[in-house]
């Protein structure tokens, strides 16, 4: 008698769990947004000088970038965008954009013009960094990694989600030619798509 009751309970319980996880999966499949796409469309580098006697990097980098929301049903609020400048994993700049926050509708692309990353920063370059820097100075093209740190919210109809922060920082690996003035060789820059965009999916989950 009690054994039968136990089995019934077990089956009801089991089916409930199954229903819940199935609907959860279907819900996730329909509503899990696609990641936004980030592209650095153009970059102008008018100054990138490392002075080894006082270990200071003077830099002036101007970026244009686009952010695309590829989703049909999900809007995105951009609450904060920070732009980080790295040279060989050594951070030399962090800029918080002041154009924010803004809302981006379905299938929309937002252009951010003239993001200025400019300043003078003490950096600790080791031998390898200095030798790469010297090589790149000779070639006139610097490999600069721009990272983006964002805080966003997703909007489904009238429902707005919690804050999302990416699992990792978004990486934009740029090769930027140095232009001594604005009319010179800045056109040598190729638009670069940024990698490691993981707001809604966890890259380490599989
Ligand atoms: C960014 O775009 C604006 C407007 O399209 C343009 O005037 C400017 O030269 C661009 N800046 C860079 C760094 O390419
Ligand atoms: C490097 O910095 C030192 C100390 O501030 C300065 O005397 C020197 O002129 C600088 N060198 C260059 C190439 O700017
Ligand atoms: C180091 O030298 C550069 C010039 O090369 C100058 O712009 C910068 O302000 C100096 N930094 C310090 C901390 O003296
Ligand atoms: C930085 O470069 C831009 C051109 O991209 C120029 O307009 C601006 O005056 C420069 N700023 C400094 C402080 O050199
Ligand atoms: C994209 O967003 C901008 C600003 O909110 C708006 O003016 C524009 O009409 C939108 N474009 C599309 C295709 O929805
Ligand atoms: C800028 O570069 C162009 C082409 O290299 C050159 O003709 C021009 O004189 C330069 N202007 C300045 C202010 O250095
Ligand atoms: C980048 O900007 C420079 C200066 O504004 C312009 O001459 C060049 O054509 C632009 N390159 C691209 C790929 O848009």
Q: What is the pLDDT of residues 23-41, one digit of tens each?
A: 666 665 566 789 999 999 9
In angstroms, what is the span from residue 8 Cα to ligand 4's centroid?
75
Euclidean distance between CA atoms 67 and 16, whole angstroms: 41
pLDDT of residue 162: 85
* Distance of alpha carbon 95 from alpha carbon 85, whole angstroms: 9
Return the H-helix or E-strand segment holding 16: helix 2-31
Quickly state the pLDDT bin for 206 (edges 50, 70, 90): low
Best mutation site among 187, 188, 193 for ligand 7, i.e. most ligand atoms within 8 A of its Cβ? Answer: 187
On the question of pLDDT at 98 being above 90, the answer is no
Q: pLDDT digits over 135-176, tens only?
A: 999 888 999 999 999 999 999 988 888 888 877 889 999 999
- The H-or-E segment that residue 103 falls in is strand 102-104
Q: Which residues of 31-57 are buried (b: 16+ CB within 10 A; e: fewer)?
A: eebebbebbbbbbbbbebebeeeeeeb
176-190: pLDDT as tens digits: 999 865 555 545 889
Ligand 7 atom nearest 182 alpha carbon: 4
CA-nearest of 143, 155, 121 to 51 is 121
Residue 72 CA, ligand 5 centroid: distance in Å:
14
Q: Among 68-72, 77-81, 158-162, where is mean pLDDT lowest?
A: 158-162
Distance 147 CA to ligand 6 centre (A): 31
Measured from the Cα of 55, ligand 3's closest atom is 1
Question: Is the Cα dihedral 67, 70, 191, 170 positive or negative?
Answer: positive
Whether 53 is in the pocket of ligand 2, judged by its Cβ within 6 Å, is yes
Where helices occur in the chain by DSSP H, the ranges are: 2-31, 127-139
For ligand 1, what atom is nearest to the CA of residue 64? 1
């Amino acid at each position: 008698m009690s054994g039968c009751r136990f089995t019934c309970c077990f089956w009801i319980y089991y089916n409930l769990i199954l229903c819940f996880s199935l609907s959860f999966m279907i819900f996730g499949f329909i509503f899990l947004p696609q990641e936004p796409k980030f592209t650095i469309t153009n970059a102008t580098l008018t100054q990138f000088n490392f002075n080894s006697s006082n270990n200071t990097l003077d830099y002036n980098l101007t970026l244009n970038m686009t952010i695309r929301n590829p989703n049909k049903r999900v809007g995105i609020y951009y609450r904060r965008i920070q732009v980080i400048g790295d040279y060989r994993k050594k951070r030399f700049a962090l800029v918080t954009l002041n154009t924010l926050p803004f809302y981006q509708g379905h299938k929309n692309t937002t252009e951010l013009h003239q993001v200025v990353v400019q300043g003078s920063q003490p950096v600790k370059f080791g031998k390898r960094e200095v030798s790469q820097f010297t090589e790149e100075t000779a070639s006139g093209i610097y490999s600069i990694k721009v990272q983006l740190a964002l805080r966003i919210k997703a909007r489904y109809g009238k429902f707005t989600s919690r804050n999302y922060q990416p699992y990792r920082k978004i990486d934009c690996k740029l090769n930027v030619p140095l232009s001594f003035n604005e009319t010179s060789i800045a056109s040598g820059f190729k638009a670069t798509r940024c990698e490691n965009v993981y707001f809604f999916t966890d890259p380490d989950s599989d």
